[in-house]
């Protein structure tokens, strides 16, 4: 278990000279490793690729996590930092797909709870991009969980 920020993005990073400070820890809690890093690299990749809108971001998500061999510099950099983090924590790389799915399920559930009960079926899903990410991972489950995801 590690301390999870749950909002680990550039909005909560401040840099002064050579110091980096992370703020907004009010919602932090103990959680599984990789959650903050997976969230950060996902949104970092959107920023670097200049992806706006749910459809473009979903394509970027697939490119980042569902392609068999990431070939672009953004995906390669993201996978390298994930591998380094896992190595430092002595985490078996076979846990990566499971942690990836669990993290987005946690995000989807959190967003659903914050939205309140929808007035009609399907409303929460239409405003919850995280559900679409889970769908993408489910679509590529054979690739994710067959060991082809490892680098």
- Mean pLDDT score across all residues of the chain: 87
Confidence of residue 150 (pLDDT cuts 50, 70, 90): very low
Confidence at residue 57, expressed as pLDDT on a 0 to 100 scale? 96
The b-or-e profile of 69-104 (16+ CB within 10 A means b, else e) is ebeeebbeebbeebeebbeeeebeeeebbebbbbbb
Contacts of 16 (CB under 8 A, 6+ apart): none
Condensed to tens digits (0 to 9), the pLDDT of residues 32-64 reads: 999 999 999 999 999 999 999 999 999 999 999
Taking residues 112-135, what's their average pLDDT? 74
The model's pTM is: 0.84
Q: How far apart are CA 52 and CA 114, in angstroms?
A: 23
Structure tokens at 53: 């809108």
Q: Pick from 34, 3, 45, 29: which is nearest to 103 by CA?
A: 34
Contact 48, 125 (CB under 8 A): no
Lowest mean pLDDT among 14-23, 28-37, 88-97, 142-151: 142-151
């Amino acid at each position: 278990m590690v301390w999870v920020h749950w909002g680990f993005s550039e909005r909560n990073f401040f840099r002064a000279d050579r110091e980096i400070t992370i703020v907004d820890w009010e919602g932090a809690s103990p959680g599984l490793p990789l959650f903050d890093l997976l969230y950060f690299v996902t949104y970092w990749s959107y920023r670097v690729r200049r992806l706006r809108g749910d459809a473009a971001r979903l394509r970027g998500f697939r490119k980042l996590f569902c392609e068999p061999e990431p070939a672009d510099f953004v995906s390669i950099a993201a996978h390298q930092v994930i591998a380094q983090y896992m190595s430092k924590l002595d985490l078996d790389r076979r846990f990566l797909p499971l942690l990836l799915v669990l993290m987005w399920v946690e995000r989807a559930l959190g967003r659903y709870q914050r939205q309140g009960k929808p007035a009609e079926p399907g409303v929460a899903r239409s405003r919850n991009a995280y559900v679409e990410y889970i769908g993408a991972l489910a679509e590529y489950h054979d690739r994710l969980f067959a060991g082809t995801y490892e680098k």
